[in-house]
Homo-oligomer: A and B are copies of this chain.
Amino acid sequence: MKSIDVNVSVLDRNNRIAAEVQAGLTERGIRMVNLLGSPGSGKTTLMEALVNGGHFAPSELAVIEGDLYTAQDALRMKALGVQSVQINTQGACHLEADAVRKALDALDLTGVKTVVIDNVGNLVCTSEFLLGEHLRVGVSSVTEGNDKPTKYPLMFQTADVVVLNKVDLAPYTNFSVEQFCADVEGLNPGVPVVACSALKGQGVEELAALLK
């Protein structure tokens, strides 16, 4: 009996394209960051905080916005003077490298030093797909609860940097920062965890240093 493992071949093809995308950017001296996290973990607000805090010059940054249908997040980048391109997945739960390659072609990368992929809000599916990034940043927020690393390990295992966002709300929740950090360390020893409040600008300077 023959069987075809569709998942493996889809991932193989994706990862081959991702490697090509990454090599092309490296050659041009451009760094790509893949920003992952649940819906509402604060990925776009973190981007706003990085620009508003003066850590990234708008002209040196370009953003690929992954979204199911809308262009809301791309409009937020436009308001900051940051070049962006929208990938609408038409309901699909993650981005793939081929779509990122096309998005990069649609950007004017002259003078751009950093491209950020603001991924679809999804703590499960997005982590499975390499997109050509040089750095993978997993964003989790205090209000999601400290059990997220053990319940949804892949994002935390594959991240180069973990952001714990919305720490300003910690006093109003039952979140344990110690437990969260211990669980992340267990899944991905040595990965830096940056405590941030994107809305209040807290921790953003430390994050910017890790992204550059």
A interface residues with partner B (beta carbon < 8 Å) = 6, 38-40, 67-70, 72, 91-93, 120-125, 141, 143-145, 147-148, 150-154, 166, 168-169, 172-174, 199
Contacts and interface: CB of A to CB of B under 8 A. Distances in A.
B125 A93 contact: yes
A168 B169 CA distance: 11
A157 to B, nearest CB: 11
Given A40-B38, A120-B124, A125-B93, A70 B144 contact: no
A69 B153 contact: yes
19 contacts: A6-B6, A38-B144, A39-B123, A39-B144, A39-B151, A40-B144, A68-B124, A68-B151, A68-B152, A69-B151, A72-B147, A93-B93, A121-B152, A122-B124, A124-B125, A143-B143, A143-B166, A169-B169, A174-B199
Given A38-B39, A72-B147, A93-B93, A122 B120 contact: no
A124 B39 CA distance: 9
A85 to B, nearest CB: 17
A202 B145 CA distance: 19
A141 B152 CA distance: 19
Given A120-B124, A124-B122, A40 B143 contact: yes
Given A70-B151, A154-B91, A199-B174, A121 B38 contact: yes
A78 B141 CA distance: 27
B123 A121 contact: yes
Contacts of A93: 93, 122, 124-125
A68 B172 CA distance: 28
Contacts of A38: 38-40, 121, 123, 144
Given A124-B120, A166-B143, A168-B172, A72 B154 contact: no
A72 to B, nearest CB: 6
Nearest to A121: B123
Given A38-B40, A70-B151, 7 more contacts: A6-B6, A40-B145, A68-B151, A93-B124, A122-B123, A143-B169, A168-B172
